Structure 1
Amino acid sequence: MPTIATKDSTEIFYKDWGWGQPIVFSHGWPLSADDWDTQMLFFLGKGFRVIAHDRRGHGRSSQTDGGHDMDHYADDLATLTAHLDLKDAVHVGHSTGGGEVVHYIARHGESRVAKAALIAAVPPLMVKTEANPGGLPKEIFDGLQAQLAANRSQFYYDLPAGPFYGYNRPGVKASVPVIWNWWRQGMMGGAKAHYDGIVAFSQTDFTEDLKTISVPVLVMHGDDDQIVPYADSGPLSAKLLKNGVLKTYKGFPHGMPTTEADTINSDLLAFIKS
């Protein structure tokens, strides 16, 4: 398997297919590069070079006990882009991966970056604070950690079977293979990385990062997102970005790159070509 070693000797697994302008995909918690299969095959067929990695502690990357924070996530991504010598890259991040993309660009600059897309992404800040009164109470994220610690396997079934893909909504038919594929990806990773990752995605404030980014950014968010609620995420990120555009999807769930792949792929393609 292709891997790179970070400065703290963590092995990061990645996929690198095709030629042409590179599109780099950053996955959500607690998944892996496999969550982008539909997008990677689509854009590969359109003549792009497609790259996706397993975040440290996730998927096939090292199950290290430390470094599960946005600084390390961004630095690992920078190590990958430098190793592959990517130029004019489009970075696409879903959920936690959206935070990773934002922090990477703000922390490492735009010399290798052409555009970015944030899909159902966690910025600007998920947790409720005095400065972010619309956020979710910290107790919700404490509860996620408690469920993970008590029975990770059950937790990783319940989440995709319910709110992640909107399968708990009336009239929505659940896809059992999609649920089990989510479970499979989650259980490949390390419990410690996923436990710490809940703090990383919920308590990192990306406000200043967003303000520094000048490349075009497409912010894509469903208004029925039960994981990263719409009102305190997508619209706020788009306003903070210098060159951001918000696209709102009526009724789409958090996992819309999977359940609404045709729409998401088409809109991403139009944005990249614009």
Structure 2
Amino acid sequence: MNVAIYLPLLLALPLTLTAGWLAARGTPGLIARGLTGSAFVAAVSSTWSLVLLALTLLDDLPPLSALDDHPTLELPEPVPGPVALIAALLLAWGAVRLVRDIHLRTSTHRRLRAAGTPQDGLVVADWSAPLAVAVPGRPGHLLVTSGILRLLDTDERRVLFAHEHAHLAHRHHRLVALTGAAAALNPLLIPVRTTVAYLVERWADEDAAAVVGDRELTAKAVARAALATVGPGPKAALGMHGGAVVNRVRALIAPSPEPRRGRLLGPSLLVAGCLGATAVATAEFVALARAWL
């Protein structure tokens, strides 16, 4: 088994290094989808490589172990034992991380849905914390608090509802969940997960600006919600999750970005590289297994 089996483990690096550059220069929806698909393929490919590497440990178990010293057989050597063992440990670690990620998301959604019964797709909770979130489901609904409603004026509330409705309409939770799972399986993809979380907020910002017809008003609503969520406590009003707010406000003040599909050339080449390396590694493993069996 040659270098092809190791390539998928490293091809996530170019995606990680370029994710921020792509996010700053492309249409949020287009780049978010492209990065999510690329991260998913990279994670599956790297996991499959770990599976193939870990399976080579089987040659140390009977009856295959008896063939190692057979005087008349010249069997191809699999990967070194320590490499296969490390692959097995990484595979187990990734499985644990994935289960934790899924559990956290499902338990969070369960708690949000338990906050109240939607009326016309909306739950208003009498909480002082400024919170607004799109709760996925069939059907999904919006959860807002009295704290965020008191904070924003009538026009800014229109921005709020348009922003959260965009999350539901475009099923942003699926993109975030897929990149979260990809990062759990391959930690090199954690920056991609962060970038996609930022991009879906930018995507919802652009939709909200289009609905209300005022980019400056949208920027003002985003900035006001950011000021309200400084310090400890919930930061889910208009997607306020950290320092990316400044970049979002700047993007809203600037003209609306133009779609440029050429920006996805790099991720597309990475996907092709992952699939090609995975196919070669799988073929080599099958040839190795036939020789041993």
Using the size of structure 1 for normalisation, the TM-score is 0.29
Identify the structure with bigger relative contact order (alpha carbons < 8 Å, sequence gap 6+): 2
Q: Which has the higher helix share?
A: 2
Q: Which has the higher strand share?
A: 1
